[in-house]
């Protein structure tokens, strides 16, 4: 499996899912690393995210990320799935 997201300042991607090989490309520099498994990699991030969400509720402010961020993530996921199913590059405007 291979996944890539092309953005204005570079590319981030994943290949070899079982070994957690993650790469980034920016300014013509390729960086690659084998990352720890999912639970170890994101444990503290999830704890921090939950604490920030609860703080936003208690303070009465809009949480970040919010529903618009979720919509954007869903559009990106739909574009990735469509690209996979059709075997061709897809732009976000193809699914938005």
Q: Is the pTM of this model over 0.85?
A: no
Q: How far apart are CA 12 and CA 7, in angstroms?
A: 8
Q: How far apart are CA 58 and CA 50, in angstroms?
A: 12
User: Which segments of 1-96 does DSSP mark as H helices, in order?
Assistant: 38-59, 67-86
Q: How far apart are CA 2 and CA 77, in angstroms?
A: 14
Which pLDDT does position 35 carry in this prediction? 62
Q: Of the candidates 27, 33, 25, which has an alpha carbon nearest to the alpha carbon of residue 4?
A: 25
pLDDT band for 71, please (50, 70, 90 cuts): very high
Q: How far apart are CA 66 and CA 53, in angstroms?
A: 10
Contacts of 48-57 with CB under 8 Å at 24 or more apart are none
Extents of the domains making up the chain: 1-35
pLDDT digit string, tens, across residues 6-60: 777 777 776 665 565 666 667 766 666 666 666 777 788 889 999 999 999 999 9
């Amino acid at each position: 499996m291979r996944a890539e997201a092309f953005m204005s300042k570079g590319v981030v991607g994943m290949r070899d899912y079982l070994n957690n090989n993650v790469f980034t490309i920016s300014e013509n520099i390729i960086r690659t690393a084998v990352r720890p498994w999912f639970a170890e990699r994101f444990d503290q991030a999830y704890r921090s995210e939950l604490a920030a969400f609860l703080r936003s509720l208690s303070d009465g402010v809009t949480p970040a990320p919010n529903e618009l961020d979720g919509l954007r993530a869903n559009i990106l996921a739909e574009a990735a799935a469509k690209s996979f199913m059709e075997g061709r590059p897809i732009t976000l405007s193809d699914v938005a």
